A = this chain, B = another copy of it.
Amino acid sequence: MRDKILDAAQIRIAAVGYNAVSFRDLAADVGVKSASVHYHFPQKSDLGVALVARYTERFQTALDQIDQTDARTAMVGFCAFYADALIVDQSLCLCAILGAETISLPAELRAKVEGFFDMNVAWLDQFYARHGIKSPAPWDVVASLEGAMIVGTATRKNAVMETTTARILADF
């Protein structure tokens, strides 16, 4: 049940943000009452922290499974994790919207969101080092992909994500 709640939370928060999701919404999604959600996550911030922790962990595991023998193929795989969220799952990266909301988030949650971005850049750093790659800068890659998700969603233009991905891959 804990995991089912997190599943529901991920879909809802990625769609409308942390501030616009209520325990009652999530309870209804999984077929219980809101008091039961509080049993698993006493405070809303507990839910947010657990969700981002799980999300970061899964993302890290996926990144670590990218075959790095060929640099370009690996980078295509990296970009695809972002593009797929937008185009296949039709939702933003969880941390794109949480990043935008960052100032209004509880401190513990904000720290977790920061950790997600740090993890992505750390992966790119070691990947770049292994292949002697210099550009585009890892922070710029992550920022561009997150921005493309947001602008692409807001304008309902999938082409935005494709254009940005193509530009990043041009260096490879």
A96 at the interface (CB under 8 A from B): yes
Q: Does A99 contact B (CB under 8 A)?
A: yes
Q: Tell me the complex Cα distance, A142–B161, Å.
A: 12
| CB-contact partner of A167 in B15, B92, B137, under 8 A | B137
Instruction: Assess whether B147 is in contact with A17, with CB atoms less than 8 Å apart.
Output: no
CB distance from A152 to the nearest CB of B (A): 7
A146-B151, A147-B148 known; A100+B96 contact, CB < 8 A: yes
**Across the interface, which residues of B come within 8 angstroms of A118, CB to CB?**
155
Residues of B within 8 A of A16 (CB): 19, 101, 103-104
Q: How far is the CB of A48 from chain B (nearest CB, A)?
A: 14
Report if A114-B155 is in contact (Cβ < 8 Å); known contacts: A139-B160, A144-B144, A144-B147.
yes
The answer to whether A153 and B103 have CB atoms under 8 Å apart is yes
As a 0/1 sequence over residues 97 to 114 of chain A, the CB contacts with chain B under 8 angstroms (1 = contact) are 111111110000010011
Greatest chain B CB density within 10 A among A103, A114, A148, A164 is at A103
**B154 touching A148, Cβ below 8 Å:** no
| B residues in contact with A163, CB < 8 Å | 137, 139-140
| Contacting residue for A140 out of B144, B146, B156, CB 8 A | B144
